[in-house]
Amino acid sequence: MTYTTLSRGRPGYPPLLAELHDPPARLHLRGGRSEILALPSVAVVGARSCSPYGAQVARELAGDLAALGVVVVSGLARGIDGEAHRGALAAGGLTVAVLGCGIDRDYPRAHAQLAGRIAESGLIVSEYPPGVEPAPWRFPARNRIVAGLAAATVVVEARERSGALITADFALELGRDVFAVPGEITSGLSRGTNDLIRQGATPLLAADDVLEVLGIERGPVTPPTSVSPEAGAVLGFLAAGAASLDEISRSTGVGSAEVAVALTELELAGLVSQGEGRYRRATAGRGPPCSR
C-alpha cells in the first residue's frame, strides 16, 4: 500500500484546501495518484441512514459527475457517502474519501472493501497519521477537509442536525457553491436539505446544475432509448412519483406480469430503479422527458 504525505506550503498541497482558515498541516494519502487533488471536484455528502430515494440520487449524481471527469469527494460513511463513492466507481470515475481517522483504519468496517477499491484508482485522505483510531469528535474536522477539497458541495439528504450540514457550513464559509437536493417536506430526512434551500442553497435538480458552476459542458445528449408501449405507459405513470408494482398495474390497467416485464426492460435501460418495493424514475434529466 502506498502512503504519501503532503505538507502545507509544499508543492502538491491542494490550493483549494489551503483556503481553509485552519488548513491541516499535513495530508496523508493512500493510493498513488496525488495529482487527482488538482482536478475539478465536487463533494457529495448526506445522511448515514438514507432513504432509497437519497441513495439513488447520490449514486446517479456521483456517477454522472464522475463520468464527465469530475472527482467525487465524500467521507466514506454509510448511506449517502458510500453510495456517492460507489456511483463514481461504477461510472469508471475518480473518487476521494476523506477519513476522520488514520488512512490505514477502514472506518466503518463494512466499507473496508469499498475503501480498497477507492484507493486503487482514487485516494483515501486524512489529516491524521496512520494508526489514529476513529472518534466522534474528529468527524466535524474531517468535514472541513471534505468541503475544502471540493469546488462545490452537494447535500443529498440530511436531518436537521446532520453532520452533512457542517460540511455545507464550511463550504459556505469558503464561499463555495452549496447545493441541496430537494426532498419531500414530510420526510425528516429532507428537513436539513430543504432548510438549506430556504437559506439560499441552490436546489439541485440535475447533475447539469453542478457542471454549470464548474464550467464543464456536457457532450451531445444521447437520444432517449426507445421502449415498448407498455414500458412507455409505465414510465409515464412513474413521472408522478414512485409507486409499487401493484399500484402501477392498477392505475395503468396493464396486468401485473406485463408490468413486471416492462419494469425489467426499463431497469435494464437504466430508466427506472427500485428500492423497498417501489419503483422510481432515474433522475438527472436523462431518458425521455416527462409526458404530463
Partner 1 sequence: MLARAVTHALVGLDARPVEVEAHLQRGVPSFAIVGLPDKACQEAKERVRSGIASAELEWPLRRITVNLAPAGLRKEGSGYDLPIALAVLAASRQIPPESLAEHAAVGELALDGRLRPVPGAIVAAEAARRAGLPRLLCASESAPEAALAGIEPVPLRHLAEAGAYLRGRFTPGPVEPASSISSNGAGPDLADVRGQERARRALEIVATGRHNLLFAGPPGTGKTMLARRLPGILPPLTLDQSLEATRIHSVAGVLSAGHPLVDRPPFRAPHHTASSAAVVGGGPGPRPGEVSLAHHGVLLLDELAEFHRPVLEALRQPLEDGTVAVARAAGQAVFPARFVLVGTMNLCPCGARGDPAVECTCSPQKLAAYGMKLSRALLDRFDLVVHMPRPRGRELDTGPQEPSTAVRSRVEDGAARLRAARPRLGDAARGLLVRAVDTLPLSARGRARVARVAATIAALAGAGEIEPQHVAEALSYRAPPELSP
Chain residues binding partner 1 by CB under 8 A are 48-49, 52, 78-79, 110, 187-188, 244-247, 249-250, 256-258, 260-261, 263-265, 267-268, 270, 274-278
Between helix 163-173 and helix 191-198 the angle, nearest 10°, is 20
**Beta-carbon neighbour count of residue 203 at 10 Å?**
13
Minimum CB–partner distance for residue 260 and partner 1 (Å): 4
Minimum CB–partner distance for residue 272 and partner 1 (Å): 11
Instruction: Please name which of 229, 192, 31 lies closest in space to residue 126, comparing C-alpha atoms.
Output: 31
Residue that is written with C-alpha cell 455545507 in the block: 168
Radius of gyration of the chain from Cα atoms?
Answer: 20
Report how far residue 70's alpha carbon sits from residue 153's, in angstroms, rounded to the nearest whole number: 13
Report how far residue 237's alpha carbon sits from residue 221's, in angstroms, rounded to the nearest whole number: 24
Nearest residue (CB) to partner 1, 40 versus 46: 46
Minimum CB–partner distance for residue 209 and partner 1 (Å): 26
Nearest residue (CB) to partner 1, 131 versus 182: 182
Nearest residue (CB) to partner 1, 133 versus 246: 246
Nearest residue (CB) to partner 1, 106 versus 265: 265
Contact predicate 56/79, CB 8 Å? no
Minimum CB–partner distance for residue 251 and partner 1 (Å): 10
Minimum CB–partner distance for residue 37 and partner 1 (Å): 29
Nearest residue (CB) to partner 1, 84 versus 178: 84
Minimum CB–partner distance for residue 277 and partner 1 (Å): 3
Report how far residue 244's alpha carbon sits from residue 251's, in angstroms, rounded to the nearest whole number: 11
**Beta-carbon neighbour count of residue 5 at 10 Å?**
13
Nearest residue (CB) to partner 1, 169 versus 247: 247
- Tell me, what DSSP letter sits at residue 218? -
Report how far residue 212's alpha carbon sits from residue 230's, in angstroms, rounded to the nearest whole number: 36
